[in-house]
């Protein structure tokens, strides 16, 4: 009997312990929820600013209006009043207030202050409002494909808004008022749970450079009516992204949410997420590999003075590779590496790739991280396409040498070129440099990370000199700026569709940098399917020159003496 009593006592004690300790917090919260009316205190979403503190994504104060159907005393009057103030359907509102089984309805979001002031005049029982935040993009369409946008409840959906959501979002609070079982407020002490505002993120983007790049792409788009005109500007010393521009664009304050197909097309960051055959801009990589191998004493690499075969064609595995020029009147004959770059002669770079061989050339392709993502802090990065080394044929290797049979993202190519001209240092590119609190204290610092060395500083310096010659004397002359040491390489690539060349469709590009002896700004311009002119030297090089000139003017960069 004593044992049975003791056992029952232990059971009762265990139940009390479970209810009061184990489940105590949960049950207390449920009780508070049944006897309180909560008004949300919305956290301010963190701002997104450029490298210099210019606000690119901020907030505008607004309000959200709620109703508790059980606490609304005159549903007819409430429906009529709410419909009148917020331009809603009165019948639908009345139906929601009378037929809904939910304890709370959201009547209107992102309401301006003057409308809330009108609502206050009616003092409707069961209807209340809370401060909210509406995302505001002061520059409209600028950097739209990078910043991304938020949902109606301020959750990041695309771009950096999504990638850094956990930092930007913050945590909402609430004010809990005592209420009866139907939700009507009664007298008693209110509980205040403060919101925690989101953290701000500082980009590597320079708003002044971004504006220059966007203006140039808009002009190219207006002149040549391409599918897209795209541009990326990098700091070659750190791989910081200074600008990413693409036309056409869209206003982040007026998102076409009712057209998902158009929205997906306009919001996609093609510079990071899409791949293409780069064509002659890829010759920068082939030339770099050859220079480095020559310096290392590889007898298969060509010297700077080597004279290439003057024939216009090369035949590899039954595939004929041609130069764009007909080589008439001795043009393109007896070319050195500098002249081959100036003339953008495909057969010369076929010779280099085949001479280096698959194993050696692929070592450089891997050092420059082709066929893999760069690791940039952005969702949806593509890794490009590179024929596996074990499967590559001689004709494939020959074409890779001048930028065919290989597909890259614009970011991949820009990073590879940056490494080739900055002394041979390959970094992980970044869009955000730090995350900081509203009081200015830095929560997370994101430093440049060196991945690996690609080539020697000597090889890099030689390449820069050769590419300066391309702009001064060769196909890149339309990017030349008197008094400034601009270097670069043009590209004109035929597009492939369904396994064959798409007639009349080209990708025009220019990859350049300055100053040639100490690169500070690297620009890649890509124009997809321009109408009329299509050579990179004609379409893309002048746009790059416009960007370089804009940077020179904005930053007050003096000419060389």
Query: Which phi and psi (to 5°) does residue 408 adopt?
Result: -135, 165
Rounded Cα gap, residues 500 and 494, in angstroms: 10
Contact 406, 397 (CB under 8 A): no
What are the start-end ranges of the E strands in 387-431?
A: 406-407, 425-428
Q: Where are the alpha helices (DSSP H) in 187-258?
A: 207-224
Contact 552, 484 (CB under 8 A): yes
Residue recorded with tokens 């508070």: 32
- List residues with catalytic annotation: 280
Residue 284: which H helix or E strand, with range?
A: helix 283-295
Rounded Cα gap, residues 337 and 149, in angstroms: 47
Residue 366 CB: number of other CB atoms within 10 A? Answer: 15
Cβ density class 211-237: b for 16+ within 10 Å, e for less: bbbbbbbbebbebbebebbbbbbbbbb
Rounded Cα gap, residues 458 and 291, in angstroms: 9
User: CB under 8 Å to 5, separation ≥6 — which residues?
Assistant: none
Rounded Cα gap, residues 515 and 522, in angstroms: 9
Distances (CA, A) of 373 to 7, 84, 376, 405, 509: 65, 54, 8, 18, 21
Contact 247, 477 (CB under 8 A): no
Helix/strand/coil (H/E/C) assignment for every residue in 131-149: EEEEEECCCCCCCHHHHCC
**Of 193, 87, 180, 172, the residue nearest 125 (C-alpha):** 180
Contact 157, 148 (CB under 8 A): yes
């Amino acid at each position: 009997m004593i044992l049975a009593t003791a056992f029952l006592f232990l059971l009762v004690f265990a139940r009390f312990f479970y209810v009061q300790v184990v489940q105590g917090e949960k049950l207390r919260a449920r009780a508070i929820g049944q006897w309180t009316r909560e008004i949300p205190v919305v956290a301010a979403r963190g701002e997104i600013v450029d490298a210099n503190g210019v606000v690119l994504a901020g907030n505008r104060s607004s309000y959200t209006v709620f109703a508790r159907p059980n606490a609304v005393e005159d549903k007819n009057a409430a429906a009529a009043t709410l419909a009148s103030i917020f331009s809603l359907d009165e019948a639908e509102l009345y139906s929601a207030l009378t037929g809904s089984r939910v304890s709370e309805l959201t009547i209107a979001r992102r309401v301006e202050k003057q409308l809330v002031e009108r609502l206050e005049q009616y003092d409707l029982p069961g209807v209340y409002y809370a401060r909210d935040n509406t995302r505001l993009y002061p520059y409209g369409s600028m950097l739209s494909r990078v910043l991304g946008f938020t949902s109606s409840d301020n959750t990041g959906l695309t771009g950096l808004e999504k990638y850094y959501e956990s930092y930007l979002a913050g945590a909402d609070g609430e004010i809990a008022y005592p209420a009866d079982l139907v939700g009507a407020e009664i007298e008693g002490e209110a509980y205040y749970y403060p919101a925690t505002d989101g953290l701000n993120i500082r980009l590597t983007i320079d708003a002044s450079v971004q504006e220059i790049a966007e203006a140039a792409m808009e002009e190219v788009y207006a002149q040549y009516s391409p599918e897209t005109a795209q541009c990326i500007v990098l700091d070659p010393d750190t791989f910081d992204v200074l600008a990413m521009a693409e036309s056409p664009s869209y206003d982040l304050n007026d998102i076409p949410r009712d057209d998902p197909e158009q929205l997906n097309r306009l919001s996609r960051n093609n510079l990071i997420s899409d791949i293409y055959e780069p064509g002659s801009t890829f010759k920068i990589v082939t030339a770099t590999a050859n220079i480095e191998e020559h310096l290392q004493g590889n007898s298969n690499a060509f010297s700077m003075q080597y004279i290439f075969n003057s024939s216009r064609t090369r035949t590899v595995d039954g595939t004929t590779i041609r130069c764009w020029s007909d080589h008439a009147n001795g043009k393109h004959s007896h070319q050195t590496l500098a002249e081959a770059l100036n003339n953008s002669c495909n057969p010369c770079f076929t010779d280099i790739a085949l001479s280096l061989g698959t194993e050696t050339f692929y070592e450089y392709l891997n050092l420059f991280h082709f066929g893999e993502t760069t690791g940039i802090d952005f969702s949806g990065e593509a890794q490009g396409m590179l024929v596996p080394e074990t499967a590559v044929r001689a004709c494939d290797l020959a074409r890779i040498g001048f930028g065919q049979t290989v597909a890259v993202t614009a970011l991949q190519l820009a990073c590879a070129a940056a490494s080739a001209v900055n002394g041979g240092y390959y970094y992980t590119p970044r869009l955000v440099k730090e995350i900081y609190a509203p009081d200015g204290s830095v929560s997370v610092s994101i430093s440049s990370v060196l991945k690996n060395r690609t080539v020697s500083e000597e090889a890099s310096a030689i390449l820069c000199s050769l590419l300066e010659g391309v702009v001064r004397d060769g196909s890149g002359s339309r990017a030349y700026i008197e008094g400034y040491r601009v270097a670069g390489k043009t590209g004109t690539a035929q597009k492939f569709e369904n396994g064959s060349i798409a007639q009349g469709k080209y990708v025009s590009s220019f990859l350049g940098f300055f100053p040639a002896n100490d690169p500070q700004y690297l620009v890649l311009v890509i124009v997809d399917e321009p109408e009329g002119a299509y050579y990179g030297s004609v379409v893309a090089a002048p746009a790059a020159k416009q960007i370089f000139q804009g940077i020179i003017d904005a930053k007050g960069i003096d000419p060389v003496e």
